């Protein structure tokens, strides 16, 4: 449903910054501040020049949307699991709002077709998840918390997030590898380092290599140490043919 919404919107920039083919009917509300939704899809690399010299992009909306999404997700999980501990709820929330999860969600609803960017999106898929958070920020500023919560509950969770499935899927590959090593009395060592800057984004790039009993078993590259280590651990687990490796 959401994918058809986004596809019907067909947000495009014209010389006068006008829209055509705009249809938000199925969102469940009528937008008031169209510029917010426009801005939510502008990545930093495609920033819009302004007279005051400060380029506009979706970074601030992303920041806001991240906080709002986390808050609403926490509320949903708190009510869904009335007897679970704080640690359990935190873990499930982290899975739902993780960069990988948001990237997949953004693809599912068609945001990848609308994001404006000047980078290779095949190598920077986190941009899609960022845009999703920015969209949540735009809805919040335009419609308020109540409407944003309804949108996330009715349009996102109900159609795209299976909470029970999230509970059973293991996504913390580093923890899983360490657990496997402890169980099997194996030494595991992560070598993680910064490897220069991304040529376009000018942001740090990290490389992580993981050794099991001094044998290199996995390598990962990411925009953070955590991302690089997770990718390295996932590759190592696959090579070790660990039967509980998640397919996520």
- Catalytic residue status for 66: yes
Cβ contact 171:95 at 8 Å: yes
- Catalytic residue status for 133: yes
Q: Three-state SS string across 204-230, please?
A: EEEEEEEEECCEEEEEEEECCHHHHHH
Which one of 66, 142, 209, 235 is the catalytic residue?
66
Tell me the helix, strand and coil percentages in the chain, rounded to 5. 55, 10, 35
DSSP code for 195:
E
What residues contact residue 112 under an 8 Å CB cut-off, 6+ apart?
106, 121, 128
DSSP code for 82:
T
Locus of tokens 């899975």: 95
Locus of tokens 């959401």: 2
Cβ contact 2:110 at 8 Å: yes
Locus of tokens 């419609």: 143
Catalogue the long-range contacts made by 203-211 (C-beta closer than 8 Å, 24 or more residues apart).
Answer: 208/232, 210/177, 210/235, 210/236, 211/187
Which one of 38, 62, 130, 133 is the catalytic residue?
133
**Which residues are identified as catalytic?**
66, 133
């Amino acid at each position: 449903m959401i994918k058809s919404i986004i596809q019907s919107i067909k947000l495009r920039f014209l010389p006068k910054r006008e829209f055509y083919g705009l249809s938000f009917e199925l969102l469940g509300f009528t937008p008031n501040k169209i510029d917010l939704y426009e801005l939510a899809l502008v990545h930093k690399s495609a920033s819009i020049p302004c007279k005051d010299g400060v380029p506009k992009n979706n970074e601030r909306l992303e920041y806001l949307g991240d906080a709002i999404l986390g808050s609403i997700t926490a509320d949903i999980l708190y009510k869904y699991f009335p007897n679970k501990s704080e640690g359990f709820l935190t873990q499930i929330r982290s899975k739902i709002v993780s960069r990988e999860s948001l990237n997949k969600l953004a693809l599912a609803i068609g945001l990848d077709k609308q994001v404006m960017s000047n980078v290779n999106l095949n190598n920077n898929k986190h941009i899609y998840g960022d845009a999703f958070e920015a969209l949540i920020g735009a809805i919040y500023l335009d419609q308020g918390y109540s409407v944003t919560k309804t949108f996330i509950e009715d349009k996102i969770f109900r159609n795209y997030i299976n909470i029970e499935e999230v509970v059973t899927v293991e996504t913390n590959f580093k923890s899983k590898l360490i657990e496997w090593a402890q169980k099997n009395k194996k030494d595991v060592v992560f070598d993680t380092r910064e490897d220069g800057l991304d040529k376009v984004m000018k942001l740090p790039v990290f490389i992580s290599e993981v050794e099991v009993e001094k044998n290199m078993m996995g390598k990962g590259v990411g925009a953070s140490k955590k991302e690089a280590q997770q990718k390295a651990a996932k590759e190592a687990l696959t090579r070790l043919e660990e039967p509980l490796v998640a397919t996520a």
